[in-house]
Structure 1
Amino acid sequence: MAADYYQVVTTTDSQDEADRLAAAIVEQRLGACVHVFPITSVYRWEGGVARDQEWRLAIKTPAGRLADLKGYIEADHSYDVPMVIATEIVDGSEGYLSWVADETR
């Protein structure tokens, strides 16, 4: 059974890009809300271990907008391989999820 709502996570290497992506996602109604916060990422890339300051975007969206949101992030992101991970929202307040649906129509 597919979920009705998702939280989608991606990261960027600058606050400016995070803010730009977040605003565009909400303006285009691909997500109702985007939380943006700084993180430190440690990861393997091109044969070595890297450690970088990044900004994480946590986007709330209904299932019907998920493919468009993923496509937008992949097309408009500065990374060669942007992280896009969608996690099912298995429960939430009815009022909030209704708002997510309304804001992404």
Structure 2
Amino acid sequence: METSNLTVPSIVVYVTVPNKEAGTKLAESIVKAQLAACVNRVPVGYEYSGLFVLIQTDSEELLIIKTRESLLEALTEHVKANHEYDVPEVIALPITGGNTQYLEWLKNSTRG
């Protein structure tokens, strides 16, 4: 696992949205505001409940957002202000290492 003193503390943030259109709109606004280097949109297809797998029929998506740890508060406020849910999911996980070149790109693609 490569790490570098040149990189800044970085995180991955999960945000669910109700549908593809909402996901596209929110992801674009996050990147345009330089609150994240990139956002991946993943359809949510399964929900686990005990030993059973229930196939969901809704169109919810998961946004996987890569950003600086220092932008979490601003990102959270942006999501809350631009999300359809009253209480949107915003969960942050630390990035503890990785490709130094990618982490540098992440740093350079976001607000300082």
TM range (shorter): 0.7 to 0.9
* SS in structure 1 of the partner of residue 45 of structure 2: strand
- 1:99 aligns with 105
**Aligned-residue RMSD, C-alpha:** 1.6
Say if 2:68 and 2:106, in contact at 8 Å, map to a contact too: yes
Structure 1 stretches of at least 4 aligned residues deviating more than 6 Å after TM superposition: none
Q: Which moved more, 1:32-41 or 1:18-27?
A: 32-41
Determine the C-alpha separation between the residues in 2 that align with 1:24 and 1:41: 27
- 2:18 aligns with 13
Say if 1:14 and 1:54, in contact at 8 Å, map to a contact too: yes
Say if 1:41 and 1:53, in contact at 8 Å, map to a contact too: no
TM-score by length of 1: 0.84
- 1:39 aligns with 44
- 2:53 aligns with none
Alignment of 1:1-105 (within 5 A): 4-40=9-45, 42=47, 51=56, 52-105=58-111
Say if 2:20 and 2:59, in contact at 8 Å, map to a contact too: no
More strand by share: 1
Identity of aligned residues (%): 38
**Which one has the largest radius of gyration?**
2
Mind listing any 5+ residue stretches in structure 1 that lack a counterpart? 44-50
TM-score by length of 2: 0.79
* SS in structure 1 of the partner of residue 84 of structure 2: coil
Q: By how many angstroms is 1:91 displaced? A: 1.0
Kindly tell me the number of residue pairs found equivalent between the two proteins.
96
Say if 1:35 and 1:58, in contact at 8 Å, map to a contact too: yes
